[in-house]
A = this chain, B = another copy of it.
Amino acid sequence: MITNQIHLLRPKSGAGGSPIDGVSCLSWRFGVETNNVIGWTTIPEECEGYIGHYMLGSEYRKDSEVVTNEALLYAKSLNLSNHGKNVWVFDVDETTLSNLPYYAEHVFGVEPYNSTLFNEWVSKGNAPALPESLKLYNEILSLGIKVVFLTGRTENQRAVSETNLKSVGYHTWEKLILKGASFSGKTAEEYKSAQRKELVNAGYRIAGNIGDQWSDLLGTYTGDRTFKLPDPMYYIS
């Protein structure tokens, strides 16, 4: 069982990022989450402590819960007549699955992204679920909405991604869309917009769309409503 790993990483001190660590890190995070601070490659070095406590403490989880609660309220309010073709798009990393065990060992984004090391971590298939997203996923399914996973992970990571998703509780989906070679060099926003367009052209209605990056949620065919989960660890354009 690895689903509790995210809990085990909580620091003993508990509190979700004390202002003592620096109000400027608080404001930097505000700037990131509101899509003001864009195009960055690493978090400010002096914010490692603040971001680490934020991610491992209760605040990250509570922020996630506000988002998924709002998403569920919205989903329940929908008048779904287009039976069988309503989908909810979930991003994978830091949305459906959490790579927090990896990032906790790689100073929460202070180090530049290392694709070799990160892909090694992905290949283990050990990423826990983000519990709030797993709850939303189950409730979305129970409302008769189908789930589409749309991820920047590449096609060669399909098998391990499927195994990982199933092992932590995501047992079914309409589609798992991974990044094919034809999108190499495209931004996440371009790739994901193109894939959502295909969904819409295939007759699906994208009732909702949730991700941790603004590039999951901006662009075209974004869905009837979008939901932004927290992620102060990395930026993908």
Interface: A59 (CB within 8 A): yes
Given contacts A66-B36, A67-B31, contact A59 B16 (CB under 8 A): no
A-side residues, CB < 8 A to B, are 15-16, 18-19, 23-24, 26-28, 30-31, 33-37, 58-59, 62-63, 65-67, 70-71, 227-228, 230
Asked if A33 and B33 make an inter-chain contact with CB atoms under 8 angstroms apart, the answer reads yes
Q: How many copies does the complex hold?
A: 2
The CA-CA distance from A19 to B63 in the complex, in Å, is: 13
The CA-CA distance from A28 to B69 in the complex, in Å, is: 11
Cβ of A31 to closest chain B Cβ, rounded Å = 4
Cβ-neighbour of A36 out of B23, B31, B228 (below 8 A): B228
Cβ-neighbour of A16 out of B19, B28, B65 (below 8 A): B19
Cβ of A222 to closest chain B Cβ, rounded Å = 11
The CA-CA distance from A31 to B62 in the complex, in Å, is: 10
Asked if A66 and B16 make an inter-chain contact with CB atoms under 8 angstroms apart, the answer reads no
The CA-CA distance from A59 to B28 in the complex, in Å, is: 11
Asked if B35 and A65 make an inter-chain contact with CB atoms under 8 angstroms apart, the answer reads no
Given contacts A16-B19, A19-B16, contact A27 B70 (CB under 8 A): no
Asked if A18 and B16 make an inter-chain contact with CB atoms under 8 angstroms apart, the answer reads no
The CA-CA distance from A26 to B65 in the complex, in Å, is: 12
Asked if B67 and A23 make an inter-chain contact with CB atoms under 8 angstroms apart, the answer reads no
